[in-house]
Chains A and B, each alone.
Chain A
Amino acid sequence: MHVLLFTLILAAGAFAAGLLGSLTGLGGGIVIVPLLTLVFGVDIRYAIGASLVSVIATSSGAAAAYVREGYTNIRIGMLLEVGTTMGALVGAYVAGLISPNAIAVIFSLVLFYSAYRSTRHREEHISTGPPDKWATRFRLDGTFPTPEGKQHYFVRGVPGGFGLMFVAGVLSGLLGIGSGVVKVLAMDQVMRLPFKVSTTTSNFMIGVTAAASAGIYLSRGFIDPGLALPVMLGVLTGALVGARLLAGARTLILRRIFTVIIVVLAFEMLYKGMTGGL
């Protein structure tokens, strides 16, 4: 296939992934690597590099809007970024040591887990106090805007949340994804943050986490400009269009479709990884 045609088809595929990821709230980043490797036959190392770059673009673009609305807790983000960036550096190192087939197997497990989480009902457990020792030490408690005015929230489980963030960082650096699923899990269930705060703060951290491993991928030659560009622009415009459409969209059916796609990709990744087909 020629470069021009390949670039256009790739950009269209990435656009669809960004659009679906944004409309369903599951993020497009997780399907980019399977799409590139399984459908387009791209080496998984180039695929991870391109995916990382697109993750930085979409998360930074979305974070720009959220931060100004006052939902993002910058202190929580900053503190947890210590964990995610350390994890991301570790993940990027490990990615250079293990075989592409091993990466594919780990990737499939994360896909299965993401599909499982997307079918679960997300429960909000806002903490009303008393204040937690670590949260007070790091001044993490905050407020977020509601129609009835600012609502206060307390933060719990800081050490546990920090540990899970390290894991999220490792997965991000190893697989080139945003690891939003793990981040949100840590902040919803362990740290007891309100949805709006955990979602936007997770998104805020994704860009920094991905940037930490992107430097290493760049120096290893895993980021190919001709491949990363159409993927990045496709996912970014898809996500922006998705955010515009979100107001009136019926996301439940889309969520189911996207979940099925993720499961299919997970099985294929697992099969290819186990049989050494990548």
Chain B
Amino acid sequence: MTGPAAGSRWSDEQVEHFVGNLLRYGVMTAAIVAFAGGIFYLLRHGGDVVAYHDFTGEPASLTSVTGVISSALALNPRAVIQLGLLLLIATPVARVAFSLVAFIRQRDRTYIVITTIVLALLLYSLMGFER
């Protein structure tokens, strides 16, 4: 994946092309990581009994960005899946972050403000609950 050609300003077409690639590879990477975790999970827990009828919530290691990353690195199968899902959630966030860079390069002040607001709301949702 290569970024738009290094010029002083990027055209809308270059930005569209890069955004398309970003979304495609983001979803692919997320799906592959989550799938790999799923195979692990089924090998280890495939014979367990299903209990989704009662809501118990998830353990702390699966509900925060830092918790997911550290337990995925410890190769906990459920955490590896959750890392894939987190990458999936991060894909649109990365798209917005890239749009911000593009609007900065286009010196489009109105859209720099608009995109910053959206990015802040997204980061608040993802990071605002870290305890």
Binding site for B on A (CB under 8 A): 1-4, 6-7, 40-43, 45-46, 53, 56-57, 60-61, 63-65, 67-68, 70, 72, 74-75, 78-79, 81-82, 85-86, 88-89, 92, 137-139, 207-208, 210-216, 218-230, 232-233, 236
Residues of A within 8 Å of B86, CB to CB, are: 218
* Residues of B near any A CB (own CB < 8 A): 12-13, 15-17, 19-21, 23-24, 26-27, 30-31, 34-35, 37-38, 41-42, 45-50, 52-55, 57-59, 62-64, 78-79, 81-82, 84-86, 88-93, 95-96, 99, 110-111, 114-115, 117-118, 121-122, 124-130
**Pair B81/A2 contact, Cβ less than 8 Å:** no
Assembly CA distance A113 to B22 (angstroms) = 34
Q: What 6 pairs across the A-B complex have the smallest Cβ distances?
A: A215-B125, A221-B57, A219-B129, A225-B81, A4-B46, A221-B58
Q: A63-B20, A215-B128, A220-B57 are in contact. List 20 more A-B contacts (CB 8 A).
A: A4-B46, A40-B52, A46-B55, A60-B26, A60-B27, A70-B16, A82-B117, A86-B121, A137-B110, A139-B110, A208-B92, A211-B92, A211-B125, A212-B121, A218-B126, A219-B129, A221-B57, A224-B52, A225-B34, A225-B81
28 contacts between A and B (CB under 8 A): A1-B50, A2-B47, A3-B46, A3-B48, A6-B50, A40-B52, A42-B52, A53-B85, A56-B91, A60-B92, A60-B95, A64-B20, A65-B20, A81-B96, A82-B121, A207-B92, A208-B95, A210-B92, A211-B91, A215-B89, A219-B129, A219-B130, A222-B57, A223-B62, A226-B45, A228-B85, A229-B38, A229-B84
Identity of the chain A residue whose Cβ is nearest the Cβ of B54 in the assembled complex? A43
Are A3 and B47 within 8 A (Cβ)? Answer: yes
Most A CB atoms within 10 A — which of B12, B91, B99? B91
- Taking CB atoms, residues of chain A closer than 8 Å to B117 are 82
- The A interface is mostly helix, strand or loop, or mixed, namely helix
Given A208-B118, A216-B125: A138 in contact with B110 (beta carbons within 8 A): yes
